[in-house]
Structure 1
Amino acid sequence: MKKFFSIFLLASVAFLLQATVVDQSTALQLVKSLYGERADSVNYYVGSVEKYVNKYYSPVNTDEAASIDWLSGSDEKWLIAVDEQPLLRWGHDCSYFYIPKEVDSSKEIPHFRVKGSLIPHSLKLQCAEKNIALNLPHRAMRLAQASGFKPLESNPAATDTKVIILMGNDGINYWQYDWDMCSQIYQLFTQKYLISKDNINIFASDGGNNLNHDLDFDGSNENVQEATLDNLYNFFKSMSKESVEKKHVFVFYIGGSLVGENYLNAEFTFDDRIPAIYVKEWFREMPNNIFSLLICCSQSEGLQEVIQGENMVITTDNNSIRSDSRTSNAEFLRYWIDAMAGVDRSSGASLGNEADTNLDGKVTMKEAFNYSAYNASYPSYNNPTCVSTPKKLADELAFNNSDLPSRFYSLYIRDNEQDKGDNTSTGLVTWNSPDIWVRNNADGFENQSSQPLNKQDEIYVYVRVNNAGPAEYQHDNKQVDLFWKPKTLGLGNDSLYFSLDSWLGTQPLTTSISPQGSLINEFVCHMPKSLLNSSDIVGDVLPFDLMAIIAPPNETDTFDFPEGTDPVLGPESKNVAVNRMTVIDPTLGKTMVRKNGTQLEPYQRTTLPISIMNPKTGTQSYSIEVMADKPSKDHNAFTNSNIALKVGDDLHNAWIAGGGQSQDVDIDKTDGTAFVLKGTDSKIQNILLPQGKMFDAKLVFDFKMISASEDGEHVFHLLLKDAGGNIVDAESFKYLFKSATGTGTISGPGIVVTNNADEGCALEATNVAPESECQWYDPSASLISEGKKVVLGTDFKTGEYLLATTNKPNGTTEFVTTTLNGTNSILSVSPNPVGNQANVTLALPAKQGSAIRLTSVSQSQPAIELALVPGEKSCILDTSSLTAGAYVVNLLVNGDVADSVQVIKK
């Protein structure tokens, strides 16, 4: 009895098989055709569901009896087979075959099979699980009747659909469930939607388990690839945008150790982890409107950081298939499938859950979402208002074979079920167009309010830090105020995720910020002074992690702290002109705020664009050094200076630095001696980069300076070095400090770059006062000229040129830079290889006596020469008569070759 009793554990998806038998006498023939040599170990039963249930199962309460009564009265024929020999280590193969009541015995009879499995230690079923199992035959029949099955040749979407299944390793106790869900997905697309097996790619973490699985029970193992780094990297590399832009692509994540709990800080060297960063890079390049994503996994920490944008994200998150709620994930998947198929569920099709008794009519994504969250032991989520969606989802996901939805929507369930000793506060902020939903589930749901948001409004999200840890951190007003001011509002796809761990002594204060899209222009954070200056704040997320994103793009948008409320200086800020919010781009100009005497200088910020190549390892160590150009007898020092490195655009992995409060640093050193700005704290540690990929990055340098002198002048070189002491960027960044009188923000001057045939390259200062003095510094920081214009000619150094302008009446000095790439090439030809004509372009106007000549490298073709009109900068050469081969295009000036380019003729 136990072997039949146990088949009711897990439901599945129906799919179509062919058979020629319907009665008891020929049932064994069907069993043998399905199970082959194992047929002798298979017990089978043919009869009505009512008789089967009455024979092998006795209800223990009224809820279960009600479900059995619902099945009563049906005399449809079923063949129910149970394989006593485990197909897989932890499970038995249990199958239902629905046979229609009226059949034509002269023809092949369609019947529908649903596969389930059991876990031996889970024989003590709960009421909800039993009812799920009892509903299985009815739901299989409903799904089959509603499927609208069509032959392959009449299903145009079948060849335009790509399915990718990524399976992690959920551990020895749960992986059977992962394979069950994988099988359901596989059957859904191959049997119901007729997607070719060639269009389905499955990657699974081995974890010691056999990768060969008969996913559709046709007697053959499917081609499941092991989810190694190489396999995944090569696969996603081959999936170019062009190859999928006209396809419907479904990506499924299944399993626990899919990315690991801290995937951003982990090196992907284990085969049981899916390297999500590869997938992330791939999605970033793909067109948004063709992807539909489903995440079903028991540990999805970090997944919301992998999948962003307007794609569908559904996760049942932690604990959803563990212990007594282990079936919720699989059931949620079936709800999703029912919603896709538009299955009509009768009012009696309850899953034994009070929150689920009203599921009549079409199954909607919202209902499936709420059921899964509820069954995963999070009753607070069982309120429909807890589902943050851009628009109403009911009835919008009807699916048919030829018209897939162009896009789905983002849903999140964020699990916060932790050990009692781990006080964690997490929050989710998502645009609802125009509503915003703010969640803070520290100690349950502290803030469950939704408020309309106008385009002019600021968003205030309060995340409180529990008063724990050292006494000096226990303040009454210990909270972080997060301000979000988008310049433009999207249509429901802007979202922001943050989490803040409680302050527990040396435990790092972590704040993760992950905006979707690029519409977030400003993010402001106020932090208590004691937290911000604490030396205990260590690791990969620091207070200036937040400070690094507070700055608006220009001075007119500067957020000014009210007097005395600067988060770093506290009450002292009333004595300082605070203007530390301006992001400085070295190619556009710099801002300087000066104070006389020993007053603290306000924060300044500058950025250094760099490129980092990580050829072998996923972790690098970098350090920051500041080089003084000359000794100083005056006491000049940096204080409270922060340095960070921003890699790419992903703010979750952007700001990596070590720190705490800096010490005063004397610059009283010998000429050219480097000093480390903050000692060992200036090390930048653990920068995670994919192997072999070039990353654009920015070095962010916030500083204050104490100056006891009003006439000292220094140039400091800011260097980024790797662990071997090598400078990462060939061109170090130069910043010139010059003491001056007066206060306030200085801005205004600019540089115009000109090129002409007479002078070559020249730089000219603009927007400067007539009485100002101008000084020009080349990339080696040498003074090369004074005056408003400097002529560099055609042979000049490449790199950054700095203009320092000093206003004589008030003594203020302003700085602006420009970068010259400085190619010596005057001549360019396109396209290359050339076809029937070549387009020739000159960087400078043609002089008198200039001409273009094209000659064959092998001298096998006659030369083509075209005279240029003085001042002309382009011409077209007719190359249609030339044979394929290598050619040289020369620019001639009075017969001499001034420049040349080699081209290929196709």
Structure 2
Amino acid sequence: MKKLILIFVGIVCLNFVLAQQPITGGQQINISEAPWQVLLKLNGNYGCGGSIITPNVILTAKHCVKGLNPNSVEVVAGVTCKDEVTKDNIFNVRQIVTHPTLDIALLLLNSNIPVTNKTRSINFRSSLDEQYYNVGNKVSVSGWGWLTPNGYNPSQCLNSVDVKIISNAMASSQLGQTVRNYEIATAGVGNIRKGACHGDSGGPLVIWSDIIKDYVLIGVVSWGRARCIGDNTNSPSIFVRVSKLVSWINQYVPRHELLIRDNEQDIGLEPNPTFKAWQSPDIWLADHNFKKIPVWDIYKYKYCYIAVRVKNIGYSTSTGKEKVYINWSNSSLRSYWPSSWLQPSIPFFTIATGKTITENGIDIPSLKPNEEITLYVLWDIVRNIPDFELAHKFCWGFALLARIVNNYEQGLYSYPFPNPLTTTYAKYFNGFAINDGSQIIKDNIYLQMTPLCHIEKPYTIGFNQLKTNGKYKLGDFAEIYIVLSNDLMRNLNKETSKNIKIIDKTSVLLQSANAELSFNALDKKDGNYFIGTKVHFISDKIPEYNEFEFNMTLKVQDEPEETLNFTAIRDENIFFKADANVDKKKVVKAHEEVLLSSNVIADNAEYVWFDGKGNKIGEGSHISTIPDRSQKYKVSITKDDDGYRSYDEVDVVAVDGVINSISPNPASDNVVVRYRLSDNTPSAALHISNLQSTLSIAYPLDINATEKNISLSGFSSGTYIVKLLIGGTVVDSQNLIVY
């Protein structure tokens, strides 16, 4: 038997090693799939792995760095393969902290690792949930270690493998060595050994959590059978349980952490796995008595207070040197930090679209662990928002952004993301939150168009109507239209869009509470891409409540969702009802002109008529039309000033054919019957009979013709009835005199 050395708490054992375990039986992955993974350089050589648990703290194995000083250890972050390493990926270590008894060490860095899609911390505190350690759970281990057992072949690129947790008793039996209660064991399935091997010590064992919708760090690669010899039945990988480390780690992670929540479910994880854009419950408006006010009442005030709630979710008292900065911006479905929050005006109007409200910031006093405080800043709305009255006229909406600047942060802005969407910052940073003041639809049709900018891949915009007091949705009492710029409409994918109706070249009607627009990748970088909303309340539908909320959500692959909120407010004092009528009996002859009319309301309004197919046939309170078939005619009355609308219908039953004339009449030798048939007539005939019904002659008609020449030879003098039959049914008749 080959002799190997196990270094663990000062004990020498045989046949096992605590030396640099790597990945076998796995496959190459991109660092963006495990952005918490780091590679260590030890005395200039690549060795172990580690995990980012905060931007400046790395968790690894003690045996990897034992006896080394900080200057001989470097942390490489954000690379998939070793040949990608540059000086920008290397972070220096200022201190090595080793656990007093376990195979664990912390590397405290000189600087923060920036948060990107390739580098971010992993949640380790949720490892306290023991369900993650259940036998049979599927888990993943990653690293740059050996690819095959019993061979020195460290991988040049990051690999990962899925394995399952096995019981410590089983692992102890397989190894002939006790696996202790502060450790966890895994094994693969199949003939090829799967698990950690030389070169991956200190690396992460992670599990997906359906609770927080993110990965949780539950283990640190520690030891296993020498040279990874064996298979899945006798060569498990052993890890230190992270749940045994949390209280010890908390002594060395940043001593406090201040949180402004993104949503009600936000508990301070970075990134926030429950992220919902623009809905921070910790940012709101208040009046001079510090009472919360609805956002739609902002236009009643010349000034109000902006309230921001901050909580210390860390483990020690904060320094008292932090500040909160607040910005406002016009509501937008797609915004960028900081450009969207500092722009002077939007393209079509002179309304400013963003500004820092607190130029010098608001001091945050020292907060004890779990202590929170609400800070108030006076907002001089009229002075801060140029042309405020113009903004009000166009039902302009606004959003607020609050961000915490720590005493150690360099400057007010940082740009760790290549595409700095505002929502990306909010999702990844606890001290960065946004709240959409909501687009207000009140006393007018909403007119503002939201810019989308250029999106280079297919995307969707979904619509969700929220229930008011759990009962009613906006669509129960209103019509919701989406207005698209010409360039945006051109890229609409009509086949994959859901529950919509194209109205015209720029308008789409939402036909359900969860409609969705699908778009192709936008074809012109310099195109004008705008989207807006129109709401028409039905004036004769009186809801129990007058405030309705709905939102539109932009979904682009690999980007945080962007949600724009709307609040539509019905004026309870508005009521009118359309009343449609026809000037003749509701049963008329096909192709006979009729006059359709509606009541006239007191206010200026638009009157539009539609046929049974929904086609517009005219405008005005009175119009003439010639029905070719039986159908319902609908009138829409829409008030000019506020868009309130009412509908009514009138049934017009039109027969499918008519006898236009019989000539000559009286007649002796021949008669010409002129007739007209509707377009969808299947068959038709003329029947001529005398009054005594002793004579009846049928003449089939050509449905494409308009007259029939009939010989009267053999007819006796007298009065006859000429009947037009459609499908065997008499639809019209006239008298004929023969002499």
TM-score, normalised via structure 1 length: 0.25
Larger Rg computed on CA atoms: 2
**Structure with the higher fraction of residues in strand conformation:** 2
| TM-score, normalising length: structure 2 | 0.29
Relative contact order, higher structure (CA 8 A, sep 6+): 2
- Quick check: which one's helix share is greater? 1
